[in-house]
Structure 1
Amino acid sequence: MPIVEAHILEGYSATEKSRLTSALTNAIRFVVPAPDVAITVMLHEYPSEAYARGGQHRQPAPALPDPSTIVRDYLTSMEARDLEAAQSMLREDFQMVFPATDPMTRLSELIEWSKARYRSVKKTYDGFDALHGNGVAVVYARGTLHGEWLDGTPFDGIRFIDRFEISEGKIVRQDVWNDMGEVRAQ
């Protein structure tokens, strides 16, 4: 029965503390074969006046935004074709790679590329999975695609997985895998 204690400065919201305890529980589960109910996480909060580094009292750093929320908001903006809102969620060095494409760096490239593939496409989500690795938050969005081919024929149930990397609260990279090409060829 693992017990994890973390010391944090006061100032984080209940939601942020809940995200932290969930993340610590998940980190333990990567190594220790214990069910969630057997993992205890305790947060000890201290007022900023009780903490100093280098002789200076410090304030807590603001919590990072939930990476899954960033991805959901981005995908919602893209589906609504609110490109300005979607663009605001991307870092300047953003890259996206779709099946059989070179990396694209602008949303306008994606819109132009997709015009030759389908009239419309929307996503139904089965889930979002977030983790942290190599200095970035990684979010996988998975589910199915539905929409209309160029000739107006509907399609649906096409599997997809999108992998996003988030750094500094912005999306840095999007990799897309789906069965659209295979289904279209049929």
Structure 2
Amino acid sequence: MNQNTEKDLQAVKDYLAASMAPDPVLAATFVAPGFTCRFTGGRVFDTPSGPTGFNAARYAWVKKRIERYDVVPAGEQTIVYSLGYLHGAWPDGTPFDGNRYIDRFTVQDGLILDTDVWNDSAEWILDPTIAKG
């Protein structure tokens, strides 16, 4: 990894740590002007507080167990994938674990330009037996 790629990866790690705190104000320090978050279900947010607010309604609490980062240099930008599992509790307090997620970030000069977020939560809500395997 080159120095810019390392800086971009660190921005993603710091953003995710702040997002999981949750501290959307701190998370916002890692995003560029014009930031876009394309969230599950096609929801679009322009600040980190958007997904935080959505998650507050969907879960009693939720955290990521990050398994790995895949880093792809792309000219002046870096594409960073964060892959792993969500764990937490649904609003009624029922715990869950093993909920797959992928986040894709476009980063430049240590600032996140945009992110796409995918996970299994909607499927698990529709059919809770899926989560029980």
TM-score (norm 1): 0.63
Q: Is the 8 A contact 1:93 1:172 kept in 2?
A: yes
Question: Is structure 2 residue 81 aligned with structure 1 residue 140?
Answer: yes
C-alpha separation between the residues in 1 aligned to 2:64 and 2:49?
Answer: 19
Q: Is the 8 A contact 1:140 1:163 kept in 2?
A: yes
What amino acid sits opposite 2:4 in the alignment?
L
Residue 65 of structure 1: how far off its partner (Å): 5.8
Which protein is richer in strand relative to its size? 2
Question: Is structure 2 residue 20 aligned with structure 1 residue 110?
Answer: no
Moved more, 137-146 or 95-104: 95-104
CA RMSD of aligned residues (A): 1.5
Residue segments in structure 2 that go unaligned for 5+ positions in a row: 128-133
Aligned counterpart in structure 2 of residue 84 of structure 1, from 11, 25, 32? 25
Aligned counterpart in structure 1 of residue 91 of structure 2, from 123, 132, 150? 150
Distance 1:82 1:134, change over 3 A: same
Q: Deviations over 1:88-122 (max 9, x none)?
A: 10001100011113321012222222232111110
C-alpha separation between the residues in 1 aligned to 2:41 and 2:75?
Answer: 26
Q: Which has the larger radius of gyration?
A: 1
Q: Is the 8 A contact 1:139 1:163 kept in 2?
A: yes
Residue segments in structure 1 that go unaligned for 5+ positions in a row: 1-18, 21-62
TM-score (norm 2): 0.86
Residue aligning to 2:62: 121
Residue 181 of structure 1: how far off its partner (Å): 0.7
Q: Which has the higher contact order (CA 8 A, sep 6+)?
A: 2
Residue 140 of structure 1: how far off its partner (Å): 0.3
Aligned counterpart in structure 1 of residue 4 of structure 2, from 60, 64, 69? 64
Question: Is structure 2 residue 93 aligned with structure 1 residue 173?
Answer: no
Q: Is the 8 A contact 2:86 2:101 kept in 1?
A: yes
Distance 1:65 1:133, change over 3 A: closer
Of all paired residues, the percent bearing the same amino acid is 35
What amino acid sits opposite 2:19 in the alignment?
M
Aligned counterpart in structure 2 of residue 130 of structure 1, from 71, 75, 82? 71
